[in-house]
Structure 1
Amino acid sequence: MTEQQRICRRIMDACLREDVRQIRSQGRSLERDGQLWLELDHLGTPLRLPVAECDYMQPLRATASHWFYRSEGQWRQESGHRAWLGRLMAGLEPDEQALYQSYMEEADAAVEQGELCRQSFAEQAEELAYFGTNWGERLLHADQLASFLDHPYYPTARAKFGFSREQLRAYAPEFAPVFELNWLALPAARVTLTGPLPDWWPDVEQVGLAASLAHSHVLLPVHPLTWQQLGPMPADALPAPETFLPVVPTLSVRTLALKDHPTEHLKVPLDMATLGQKNIRLIKPSTLYDGHWFAQCLTRLEQQDERLQGRYRHVDESVAGHLGDDKLYAFLLRRYPEFEPDETLVPVAALCSPLPDGRPYIAGLLTQQGGLGLEDWWQQYCALMAEVHLRLWLKYGIALESNQQNAVLSITPNQPLSLVMKDNDAARLWPTRFNHACPELADQLDELKDARILVDDELALGQMFTTITLQLDLAAVLEGLAEQGWLNREAGYRVLRLSLRRELDALHREGLDTRLAEALLFNAEHQYVKYLLQSGSLLSKQGSGAADINKFYGLSGPNFLRGDT
């Protein structure tokens, strides 16, 4: 399958999943000669798509990267993402069509960059087969491998929209480049620092500025790509003539591992869009404070709750800086805790990533460690995720946006699995439940900056658990390993159901209210599904009505947890 065909089919699947232009709800299914078809009559030209029934994330999925349209009494074949999007935008208002036109460009970028990344994977096969000698090297290795695997649900996540081919090679994790940061000197009185800067932070002379500025100015790091696109700089800002601090991009692209200080990562604004063109990867200063609030809160819960002790650690995100409310001039310093020499940190996004020999990353790692088998690992992993996230939801009223990039698994031979948490600035918290469980922390809720974090009822927690922890971190991993032939799909789902069931029963025995969780996870016919394509690209904010484009849901996914547990 060519990259063009693959991206087109992913877009068609996403449109079916999210019922874009009501193609699923207004279409009619019919079977001819053993093939199931979805016929559409409401888009101007009659269309016919080859589909198959599905019990994961959507009731119908595309079985090909082409379709047929009716013309002059005959069905004619058509293919290509531009043609598909052109069919969907028929009859829309000009401003709505403009969103589809813009998304065509994103899809073009996904095809072009996908081809480049395939070439890069082949070119680096020898290096990619090597896991590394310490946890820092192994984490970068896992991040790079994860960057070659597309997001499970957003069809053009491959596109780093805003990157040229040259910039992709220079700054994207697929290519493992090493580069230095630019620096901007600002009057110290205008910069807010939340903690002392580390010893390795440059002084003004190291970046080519006058020594006389040392006591009056603060240096803020700027990504080279953002540096190239800066417009008029803030008043009194002095651009440093020299770069400093070699870094390597991680999976998030804007978070950079320090080459000479592997336990520390630096997150900086990046003028790039991912998961939709409205998702610009700048840094809103308020998120620096909200992320630190949750880091402190989650650390405290782990220390005082026996059932959570040893199940996770949170990175230190106490040091950050920003220039007022400007999203272009900010940074977050992320310090990882001490790790064992043979410990490996793996973002969930890397678990299914193919190694050069064809094995998924997790299978290769477990073989190298010589400990757990894949089936035993899956049991432990399901139990860990259920115990941590169901407990946070049902006891403390917290749901974390622990997507595949932020959810990091710690794997050490002969030790239980655990999690390393980071970047929890977009969680959801239900004060009613949190205040009951943690009355001593109730007053601290006023410190949260983003009003969207606090929710009025429990449903928002269930939606986030379902669409992030359950679907992204668990089901997508199982589906990936099953598709590659490394786990039995039915057996894997039995393990997942049993893990969730056991934890719900344990929480119920503690006297906690598990009714909504029971209903959403086991009794409902459909699951909530995050409509990423519509909210991120095809709909305006007014069209979706979502306060947060990353939390726009439809109740349309078949519930793969229903069944004998």
Structure 2
Amino acid sequence: MTTATATTPDTAGDADDEGALLLRVLSALLREDVAGLRTRTTPLVRPGGRWLRLPADGAAPALLLPVTGDGYQSTDAARLPLLVREADGARLDTLGAALGALRAHADPVDHGGHDAFAEECHQTLATLRLHTRTRHTVEAALTARHGADPAHWTGPAASLAYDTLAARLDHPVYPTSRGRSGLTEEQLRSYAPEFHPRFALRWLALPREAVDVAGAPGALAGCLPTAAAVGLEHLDASHFVLPVHPLSTGTPLVQALRDRGLTERAVLAERPYLDAVPTLSMRTVAVADDPLLHLKLPLATATLGLRNRRTIKPRTLVDGAAAQHLLDQVLAREPRFAGRILQADETVYAHAGHEMLAVLCRRYPAGLDDSCVVPLAALLAPAPGGGSVLDHLADRFHGGDPLALLDAVLALLLDWQATLFGYGIALESHQQNVSVALDRPDGGPTRLRLLFKDNDAPRLHPGRMRERLGDATPGLADFDDPRIFTYDEAALAAVFTTITVHLCAASYAFGLARTGRAPLPRLLDLIRDRLTEAADRQGTAPGTPGAVLRARVLEAPTLPVKAMVSAGTLLSKERSGAADINKYYTEGPNYLLPGGDPR
């Protein structure tokens, strides 16, 4: 399968895309100390600014990396004129040249990972160029369908338009987030959320005894069709049908059926059925005629790293349902969050014991028809007609003050997440998995709620949970992945910090400051104040969860930072030692310490 490629010659816009991507890539590699960019370099001050010198290593020549102060998860970031070869002053200002030079400094055992990352970067560059060429066309289609002002895109169907804008925005940390391995331009246009397409699903009939079903009796029947409905009437009594993403037919599906010994008994319906629209995660699609119902389907591709495959391991379905039950228990004990924290129902699913033969039927709560339901990942995205999504929402719901709206979001988010921390729970609820729902019931004051989904990989501290939940505390038998449980306060705080603080709070402070919307110290003060208030509610005495948050987040000299490129692509699991590639850390500066601008 070929990767997406640009269909026009390089233009000034193409060059800008490559330069911006290379800056992000070099900054990420510096943050993760790839090839010793942090620990093996010597700082230099030259006309024009600061540089880091990576010494020659055998045949690998010495390199010079110009840097500038960053402060967000890394002390420094790369800057122009990008990477320079010291011997002749040559600027290595293309992806191929820069990544090749750094590969020469890496351990030979890691060269395969560097080659894979280079391919990931080139695929992402092609996607960036595609996004640049299609931006105005896509925005015109969104406004024609949903209206000119994003602040009036209300209801579950219109929420998918925010996903489209978010899909065209870079991840706060991972430099090649817009890339999806192995997909052609035609496939991206047909199935990726940044193009807001609509397509019909395929359906696979499997013997009923081969399929494990979970959820309330009859719940799955309310989500999925019968075999007869997809044109397989003769299998209606004996077979169960699972939805299949169109990109997963062919070799991935054939291999999965072979692995499970189902080749001779499975039937792929010839007729596509049920129109769907992709969400930000791409593998999850909303049913076009019932947009409160989202179907999470396996995809044979990867995002955010070569090893971050978009399949669905059956154990994650079990763990997602268990996590939902756990959060329901907390909500029942914390009435002040009633009606303010919402959860999608993720207890209904089916699988045939293989990561390519599974479906999660995610059902969103009712009562969202008049709400703008916006994933946090879309808040800083450029909106059609100018400004950001945050600006438009602030104009409608918060008197035109985007910082006041952000403050309201963070106050609720940090309070809820700190409360969960007090129970020994830290969620992987990043920007894609948390949405803000805004409306004005009966024309009254603005109501702000947070909607959570996809909580299948939390960190849970049994001791903390037992203190608060007693006999209702879940155990190993309730979850399928033993890595979920930890007695290590540092491990719990690391998830809280890297997900809630870095991605769902600080990314907005640094993003808004970068565009000159507000001084960075003021924005960081806001986060520090809201987190301090939230931590204090969890106790101030030594050993309390609030004191742990103070010590490990607010007052820590450094903060954990995800090393996503290293664990996801550059290093094998044997080399990194990561039990979970999404919980593999380095460290960076603590921008929450008092003292002003960390840059």
The answer (yes or no) to whether the contact 1:26–1:42 under 8 Å persists in 2 is no
Distance in 2 between the 1:212 and 1:78 partners?
A: 63
Equivalent residues in 2 for 1:85-234, closer than 5 Å: 85-90=99-104, 92=106, 94-129=108-143, 130=147, 131=150, 134-195=154-215, 196=218, 197-199=220-222, 201-209=224-232, 211-229=233-251, 230-232=253-255, 233=257, 234=262
Aligned-residue offset at 1:93:
5.2
Letter in 1 for 2:394: L
Q: 1:348 aligns with which of 360, 376, 380?
A: 376
* 1:410 matched residue in structure 2: 437
Distance in 2 between the 1:382 and 1:161 partners?
A: 34
Residues 1:337 and 2:365 aligned together:
yes
Equivalent residues in 2 for 1:380-459, closer than 5 Å: 380-393=408-421, 395-413=422-440, 414-442=445-473, 444-459=475-490
Aligned-residue offset at 1:163:
0.7
Equivalent residues in 2 for 1:456-471, closer than 5 Å: 456-471=487-502
Distance in 2 between the 1:133 and 1:10 partners?
A: 32
Distance in 2 between the 1:174 and 1:35 partners?
A: 38
Residues 1:3 and 2:17 aligned together:
yes
Q: Pick closer, same or farther for the CA change 1:91–1:558 going to 2, 3 Å.
A: closer
Aligned-residue offset at 1:95:
4.2
Aligned-residue offset at 1:430:
0.4
Aligned-residue offset at 1:340:
4.3
TM-score between the two structures when normalised by the length of structure 1 = 0.95
Distance in 1 between the 2:317 and 2:73 partners?
A: 33
Superposed CA deviations along residues 51-107 of structure 1, whole A, max 9, x for unmatched, are 112222111111126221133xx4222221221221122154554211111111111
Question: What SS is found at the alignment partner of 1:162?
Answer: coil
Aligned-residue offset at 1:553:
0.3
* 2:526 matched residue in structure 1: 495
Question: What SS is found at the alignment partner of 2:559?
Answer: strand
Letter in 2 for 1:353: A
Distance in 2 between the 1:109 and 1:546 partners?
A: 26
Distance in 2 between the 1:490 and 1:309 partners?
A: 33
Q: 2:76 aligns with which of 47, 53, 60?
A: 60
The answer (yes or no) to whether the contact 1:267–1:333 under 8 Å persists in 2 is yes
Superposed CA deviations along residues 136-180 of structure 1, whole A, max 9, x for unmatched, are 133101111100001111111111112111111111011111111
Distance in 1 between the 2:301 and 2:34 partners?
A: 25
The answer (yes or no) to whether the contact 1:299–1:313 under 8 Å persists in 2 is no
Q: Pick closer, same or farther for the CA change 1:295–1:510 going to 2, 3 Å.
A: farther
The answer (yes or no) to whether the contact 1:311–1:388 under 8 Å persists in 2 is no
The answer (yes or no) to whether the contact 1:65–1:80 under 8 Å persists in 2 is no
The answer (yes or no) to whether the contact 1:401–1:464 under 8 Å persists in 2 is yes
Q: Pick closer, same or farther for the CA change 1:509–1:19 going to 2, 3 Å.
A: closer
* 1:545 matched residue in structure 2: 577
Aligned-residue offset at 1:31:
1.0
Tell which deviates more after alignment, 407-416 or 471-480: 407-416
* 1:304 matched residue in structure 2: 333
Distance in 2 between the 1:47 and 1:528 partners?
A: 28
The answer (yes or no) to whether the contact 1:360–1:481 under 8 Å persists in 2 is no
Task: Give the root-mean-square deviation of aligned CA atoms.
Answer: 1.9
The answer (yes or no) to whether the contact 2:344–2:451 under 8 Å persists in 1 is yes
* 2:5 matched residue in structure 1: none
Distance in 2 between the 1:338 and 1:200 partners?
A: 15
Question: What SS is found at the alignment partner of 2:186?
Answer: helix
The answer (yes or no) to whether the contact 2:161–2:196 under 8 Å persists in 1 is no
* 1:477 matched residue in structure 2: 508
Distance in 2 between the 1:316 and 1:353 partners?
A: 27
* 1:533 matched residue in structure 2: 565
Q: Pick closer, same or farther for the CA change 1:363–1:133 going to 2, 3 Å.
A: closer
Q: Pick closer, same or farther for the CA change 1:133–1:15 going to 2, 3 Å.
A: closer
Question: What SS is found at the alignment partner of 2:303?
Answer: coil
Aligned-residue offset at 1:303:
2.0
Equivalent residues in 2 for 1:240-259, closer than 5 Å: 240-259=269-288
Q: Pick closer, same or farther for the CA change 1:65–1:389 going to 2, 3 Å.
A: farther
Distance in 2 between the 1:452 and 1:288 partners?
A: 15
Distance in 1 between the 2:426 and 2:455 partners?
A: 10
Distance in 2 between the 1:529 and 1:370 partners?
A: 33
Distance in 2 between the 1:128 and 1:6 partners?
A: 26
Distance in 2 between the 1:373 and 1:564 partners?
A: 26
The answer (yes or no) to whether the contact 1:530–1:550 under 8 Å persists in 2 is yes
Question: What SS is found at the alignment partner of 1:276?
Answer: coil
Distance in 2 between the 1:408 and 1:362 partners?
A: 13
Letter in 2 for 1:373: D
Distance in 2 between the 1:399 and 1:264 partners?
A: 26
Superposed CA deviations along residues 102-143 of structure 1, whole A, max 9, x for unmatched, are 111111100001111122212122233433653113310111
The answer (yes or no) to whether the contact 2:308–2:568 under 8 Å persists in 1 is yes
Equivalent residues in 2 for 1:47-86, closer than 5 Å: 47-64=63-80, 66-71=82-87, 74-86=88-100
Letter in 2 for 1:347: P
Distance in 2 between the 1:510 and 1:53 partners?
A: 36
Tell which deviates more after alignment, 506-515 or 164-173: 506-515
Distance in 1 between the 2:540 and 2:281 partners?
A: 40
Q: Pick closer, same or farther for the CA change 1:308–1:445 going to 2, 3 Å.
A: farther
The answer (yes or no) to whether the contact 2:22–2:95 under 8 Å persists in 1 is yes
Residues 1:506 and 2:537 aligned together:
yes
Of all paired residues, the percent bearing the same amino acid is: 36
Equivalent residues in 2 for 1:354-373, closer than 5 Å: 354-369=382-397, 371=399, 373=401
The answer (yes or no) to whether the contact 2:298–2:355 under 8 Å persists in 1 is yes
Q: Pick closer, same or farther for the CA change 1:368–1:120 going to 2, 3 Å.
A: farther
Distance in 2 between the 1:291 and 1:485 partners?
A: 40
Q: 2:266 aligns with which of 237, 245, 256?
A: 237
Distance in 2 between the 1:351 and 1:111 partners?
A: 23
Question: What SS is found at the alignment partner of 1:475?
Answer: helix
Letter in 2 for 1:135: G
Distance in 2 between the 1:385 and 1:462 partners?
A: 16
Distance in 1 between the 2:327 and 2:473 partners?
A: 14
Tell which deviates more after alignment, 401-410 or 84-93: 84-93
- Which consecutive unaligned segments of at least 5 residues does structure 1 have? none
Tell which deviates more after alignment, 82-91 or 159-168: 82-91
Superposed CA deviations along residues 6-37 of structure 1, whole A, max 9, x for unmatched, are 11111100011111111111111111124111
Distance in 2 between the 1:440 and 1:489 partners?
A: 45
- Which consecutive unaligned segments of at least 5 residues does structure 2 have? 1-14
Aligned-residue offset at 1:353:
0.3
